[in-house]
Amino acid sequence: MTATPPAEGRCAHCDQPRIVFPTKPEWGQVPSPMCTSDWQLFAEARDNNTFVDWNDAFLNGTDDQLAAGLGGAT
């Protein structure tokens, strides 16, 4: 497997001009490409079965995960 070389561009999450990398498809619906700090946030969230923020949870969480996040765990 060949790694994708980094490219200069604008991070789709923080909107800052940075070196950016594509996101992993298994992360679900996330902005791409991302700078290293935002890429790391999403990688750690996925490894820990959590979400980066409310938008990430809304786009990628199950109904049960969203209910638990709102304090109405079923």
Hey, which residues does 34 pair with through a beta bridge? Answer: 21
Q: What is the pLDDT of residue 34?
A: 96
Q: Model confidence at 69, in pLDDT bands (50, 70, 90)? A: confident
Domain presence at residue 36:
yes
Domain presence at residue 63:
no
Q: For the chain, what percentages of helix, strand and coil (3-state, to nearest 5) are there?
A: 40, 15, 45
3-class DSSP assignment, residue 17? strand
Domain membership of residue 16 as a residue range: 7-24+31-45
Domain presence at residue 69:
no
Token duo for residue 27: 């992360």
| Rounded distance between C-alpha atoms, residue 3 and residue 9, angstroms | 18
Residues near 59 by Cβ (< 8 Å), separated by ≥ 6? Answer: 28, 29, 30
Token duo for residue 16: 């800052």
Read off the pLDDT of residues 10-64 as tens digits, 9 standing for 90 and up: 999 999 999 999 999 999 999 999 999 999 999 999 999 999 998 899 899 898 8
How many domains does the structure of the chain reveal? 1
